[in-house]
Amino acid sequence: MTYRVTAVCMGNICRSPMAEAVIRAHLHDADLDDVTVDSAGTGAWHVGNDADPRALQALRARGYDLDHAARQIDATWLEPGRAPDLVLAMDWSNHEDLRRLGVEEGRLRMLRSFDPSLAHLAHGHEDLVVPDPYYGAANGFDEVLDMIEGASRGLVDDLRRNGVPPA
């Protein structure tokens, strides 16, 4: 069976699609073909839209590819047989929205909690947040991409080291 990972941010046009592209590439490079990744947002503002052009530019500059249409996560995503095995929140607001939606605590993690350099941080620490670059300068997307790459490498290492949990 396939192990399913879903990255979630607010609108699904910046952080979570960037995470989807990066994690997918790292999974492919690690030959972890039994893991799939997708993304969604907690809000519906951008449903159907492509990723933010600045996110796409940052991704392409580092060699990542993304074909994307924004989606919103809702309760139907959590139905038996459909629920992701691991849901990765980008910030604490997303984390709380996902918890309220019904994502089980054992399936819900902050993406940056997989970054080995942050492993010492307690749950709730602000440094586990991937900040939203939407209203900031273009270089904010590169900074976010740095964070996502570090966490993605840690996630892939974790899956490789511990084995892909059964779905």
Is 132 a residue of the active site? yes
Is 14 a residue of the active site? no
- Cβ pair 1, 81 in contact under 8 A: no
Give me the catalytic one of 112, 115, 132, 153: 132
Is 9 a residue of the active site? yes
Is the four-CA dihedral 151, 157, 160, 163 of positive or negative sign?
Answer: negative
Beta bridge partners of 5: 37, 86
Residues in contact with 76: Cβ distance below 8 Å, sequence separation at least 6, in sequence order: 82
Give me the catalytic one of 14, 15, 71, 153: 15
CA distance 71 to 63: 24
In 3D, which of 124, 104, 93, 112 has the Cα closest to residue 150?
112
List, by residue number, the catalytic residues. Answer: 9, 15, 132
